[in-house]
Amino acid sequence: MAENDSSQERTEEPTGRRLEQAREKGQVARSKELGTSAVLLASAIGFLLLGPSLSKALYRVMELTLTQTREQVFDTNTMLNIWIPIGKELVFPVLSLVFLLAAIAFAGNIVLGGMTFSSHGIMPKASKMSPMAGFKRMFGVQALVELAKGIAKFSVVAICAYLLLALFFDEILRLSMEHLPSNVYHSLDLLAWMFLLLCCSTLLIVVIDVPFQLWNHKKQLKMTKQEVKDEYKDTEGKPEVKGRVRQMQREIAMRRMMAEVPNADVIVVNPEHFAVALKYDAKRSPAPFVLAKGVDSVAFKIREIAREYDIAIVSAPPLARAIYHTTKLNQQIPDGLFTAVAQVLAYVFQLRQYRKGRGKRPTPIPLNQPIPDEYKY
């Protein structure tokens, strides 16, 4: 079987079970470029949003450290004393930026493939320690793809960096002509915008990498026809087991149906092949409904239970066949059979009164009752 599987081509799409098993092992589609690009863009946006407060904080720190008097310079406690004001200046912008980057880094790495927890990846494997497997990973198709992506990223970023430097070259030179602290603010603002535009260039790699990772993930999980058949057998069970389960289900349903026969008002028979147990309960249904039905051996069992519990058995072949073929269990009889069934129930109720000595013996109903053509079988 293993030889056959290895010789077959993986042409079948992965099944839901295959995808679920891969996910349990931590094997999901991931794009490193998406996470990296998200962090870079978040950094650039963070610098733009927090730039003014960060630049003011840095300017204040430089002012605190570079405007010391002669006595403060030679005082060994000076550096310890200025740490508290430096911390107050930097705590808000720095922590805000750190929390922003942490949140974006987390979201960027789970947006493709979702969040998974699996210990499968850290389990020791012989293949991970095999030199041959290591060489295959180093010089395989995936390694070539990563090399191509690295070259493409470097090329895109380098070209964009050159274009940005050329675009802002004159403005960068004019910084030397500005005065403090406006030139510091201007330089940081300029740096943040250039950094944002440079980070946007990585989106080109992301647009290409995300579809490739999805395609490659599905390609790695593709299955052979034999694997699909084996999985179907494992999931659905062997045919003989399924047959046994269905048989047990039928037996349980049969026992449940037979347990309802003692509650019937009448058993309509054919008289040998068909038997239908009917019940009329105005609280449950506006029309009589079927409690049990069957043919041959099942019909015989229904009649046997009916005799045991002294339930009336009425022979009406056309009506028995019509009810059997048109009505399901616990379903009320069709409108077209109301008249015929009403005659049967009226006969049964009159028969009960007669047996109790409260009336005369009813006239037996005819064997061939009028049945509409659409209910004749």
> For 284-287, which contacts have Cβ atoms below 8 Å and span 24 or more sequence positions?
285/332, 286/332, 287/332, 287/333, 287/338
* DSSP E strand stretches across 157-281: 266-269, 274-279
- Tell whether the torsion through CA atoms of 225, 143, 114 and 216 is positive or negative: negative
Q: Would you state the pLDDT for residue 130?
A: 67
- Residue tagged 């497997």 (tokens): 133
Do 45 and 207 meet the contact criterion of CB atoms below 8 Å apart? no
The closest of 109, 91, 122, 93 to 39, measured between CA atoms, is 109
- Are residues 78 and 222 located together in one domain of the fold? yes
**Polymer length of the chain:** 377
| CATH code, 317 | 3.40.1690.10
Residue 88 lies in a domain: yes
- Are residues 55 and 168 located together in one domain of the fold? yes
Q: Would you state the pLDDT for residue 252?
A: 84
Which residues contact residue 245 at a Cβ distance below 8 angstroms, ignoring those fewer than 6 apart?
A: 237
The closest of 303, 278, 281, 310 to 292, measured between CA atoms, is 278
H or E element at residue 192: helix 182-200
Separation between Cα atoms, residue 121 and residue 300, nearest integer Å: 63
- Are residues 90 and 168 located together in one domain of the fold? yes
| pTM (two decimals) | 0.50
Do 317 and 279 meet the contact criterion of CB atoms below 8 Å apart? no
- Are residues 294 and 352 located together in one domain of the fold? yes
- Are residues 230 and 287 located together in one domain of the fold? no
Residue 14 lies in a domain: no
- Are residues 118 and 46 located together in one domain of the fold? yes
CB burial of residue 5 (10 Å; 0-12, 13-18, 19+): middle
Range of the domain at 81: 26-234
How does DSSP classify residue 122?
G
Mean pLDDT split into 10-residue runs, the chain, 377 residues: 55 80 79 87 85 80 80 76 82 87 86 73 64 69 79 88 90 85 80 87 87 86 82 66 76 84 86 86 83 88 87 86 87 85 84 77 73 79
- Residue tagged 């705590």 (tokens): 91
Residue 82 lies in a domain: yes
Residue 249 lies in a domain: no
- Give me 305's structure tokens: 């239970």
Q: Would you state the pLDDT for residue 159?
A: 92
Q: Would you state the pLDDT for residue 127?
A: 62
State how many domains the chain has.
2
- Are residues 108 and 193 located together in one domain of the fold? yes
> For 86-92, which contacts have Cβ atoms below 8 Å and span 24 or more sequence positions?
86/61, 89/57, 89/60, 89/61, 89/64, 90/57, 90/61, 92/53, 92/57
H or E element at residue 291: strand 289-295
Separation between Cα atoms, residue 225 and residue 176, nearest integer Å: 71
